[in-house]
Structures are given as structure tokens and as C-alpha cells.
Amino acid sequence: GIQVEQSPPDLILQEGANSTLRCNFSDSVNNLQWFHQNPWGQLINLFYIPSGTKQNGRLSATTVATERYSLLYISSSQTSDSGVYYCAVVRYNQGGKLIFGQGTELSVKP
């Protein structure tokens, strides 16, 4: 089946810094989502982005489907950005399930 790899696995930032998280996937995908899992375990939708670029406040994401990667940009990071960021993909011929990467654990220090 399709493999989803995220990098880096861990990231420590000073408040106010910018960062880029990467998601590589091994085959073409129909859907791609980015999530933030906060310290209480809640999975929060960030972007639905099978291709193209989207922005939402300090966050933006770009998926280059032909090259099988997606990037999540966090600008002017805040302590509330801490948590685990997951990339997940769907291939219709493997059903509708999300296949998750192992996540990037982000810690933003004040």
C-alpha cells in the first residue's frame, strides 16, 4: 500500500520563528489532509489539499501532486501551535480510509 513519510519527526522552535513540515507519499493520491493534534488529543483539521496551495492565517500548505509531496508552513509560531502535525492521504482504490504519516512533533518555546 501507499507509504506516507513526514519530516522532521521532531522540531523545537522559539516563539515567533517560522517552520516548514514535509509530507512525502509513495503513490498518487485522491485526497490529502493536514491535522494538528493538540496536547489533549483532539485532531483538528488544518487543510484539505490534494493539490495546489491554501492559506489560513499564519498557516499555509502546498501540495505538488505530480511530485508526491506536501508542505505545511507555520509562520510566527506561537506556543499554542505545539502538538503533533499529521499528514494523511486517501486513495480511492484502497477505500476511503485516511493513511497517516507518523507525524511531526512540534514544541514552541516562549
Q: By CB under 8 A, is residue 90 in contact with other proteins?
A: yes
Cβ proximity of 59 and 20 under 8 Å: no
- Of 11-19, 37-45, 60-68, 72-80, the window that binds other proteins (rule: CB under 8 A) is 37-45
Interaction with other proteins in 43-72: which residues (CB under 8 A)? 43, 45, 48
Q: What is the distance between the alpha carbons of residues 45 and 89, in angstroms, rounded to a whole number?
A: 13
Q: Tell me the closest approach of the beta carbon of residue 95 to other proteins, in angstroms.
A: 5
C-alpha cell at 100: 497517516
- Of 8-16, 19-27, 39-47, 62-70, the window that binds other proteins (rule: CB under 8 A) is 39-47
Cβ proximity of 77 and 18 under 8 Å: yes
Cα separations (Å) of 75 from 17, 30, 35, 57, 67?
7, 27, 16, 9, 24
Q: By CB under 8 A, is residue 28 in contact with other proteins?
A: no
Residues that bind other proteins (CB under 8 A): 31, 33, 35, 41-43, 45, 48, 86, 88, 90, 95-103
